[in-house]
Amino acid sequence: MKGTIINCVGELVCQRFGDDKWAEILERSGLEGDVKFMYTCDVGDRTVFRILDNSCAVLGISVAEVADAFGDHWINVYAGRIYKSYFAHLASFEDFIKGLDSIHARVTSDIPNARPPRFEVFDVEPGVLRLNYISDRALVDFAAGLVRGVGRYFDIDVDVSVLSNGEIEVRIHE
Ligand code: HEM
């Protein structure tokens, strides 16, 4: 996975929990405390999963809590600062979620070895969306956390449920 993801995890942990916690997470994951994750560098998926597992252990929070904190930080702080031009034109929650495939394709088109997830989005009924999350990385909790982050970005109330490893349902209350 691309270094930008872990760079964002590190920024979040340092800002909310302190530099020493991030150093501990890296050390437990077998990495040097001063390692830097460049945006486009490749980080092995196993290293990514170790860092996420150790984040739960060191911070004393669940995977779902890490995933929600990550989703909020990615959308509302990190990507908003670095990748805003890829989604600034999307004026509503639904447009953003329905544009996820194209956002990922455009952000990663110039990055060698990028392997972004794919999303299929369906209208179930008015105000209810179903997302098929297609990836062999099985990060569905993170995908759900990101969808909640998009709800916050538009300042709307959304109920996001993980239905299976590849399915997310969103109820939009506007
Ligand atoms: C609801 C919003 C979003 C969801 C659900 C989502 C989901 C994900 C997930 C789960 C991954 C991990 C890789 C995998 O599962 O295979 C990922 C990777 C990535 N996402 Fe997103 N994402 C969202 C928004 C964004 C936005 C707004 C950007 C940038 C404008 C972005 C850029 C990236 C990049 C650069 C990667 C790394 C790809 C790679 O390693 O090759 N994502 N995304």
Tell me which residue has its CA closest to atom 7 in ligand 1: 143
H/E stretch holding 81 reads helix 79-82
Identity at 10, one-letter amino acid code = G
Please tell me the predicted confidence (pLDDT) of residue 160: 98
CA atoms of 39 and 7, how far apart (whole Å): 7
Largest CA distance in the chain: 50
- Please list the rounded mean pLDDT of every run of 10 residues in the chain (174 residues): 97 97 96 89 97 98 97 98 97 98 97 97 98 97 98 98 98 91
CATH number for 90-173 (one of 2.60.40.1240, 3.90.1520.10, 3.40.1280.10, 3.60.150.10): it is: 3.90.1520.10
CA-75 nearest atom, ligand 1: 27
Domain positions in the chain: 3-61, 90-173
Cα of 38 vs centre of ligand 1, distance in Å, is: 16
* CA–centroid distance, residue 104 to ligand 1 (Å): 6
Which pLDDT score, from 0 to 100, does residue 148 have? 98
Which atom in ligand 1 lies closest to the alpha carbon of residue 143? 5
Instruction: Read off the pTM.
Output: 0.96
Q: Which atom of ligand 1 is closest in space to residue 142's alpha carbon?
A: 10
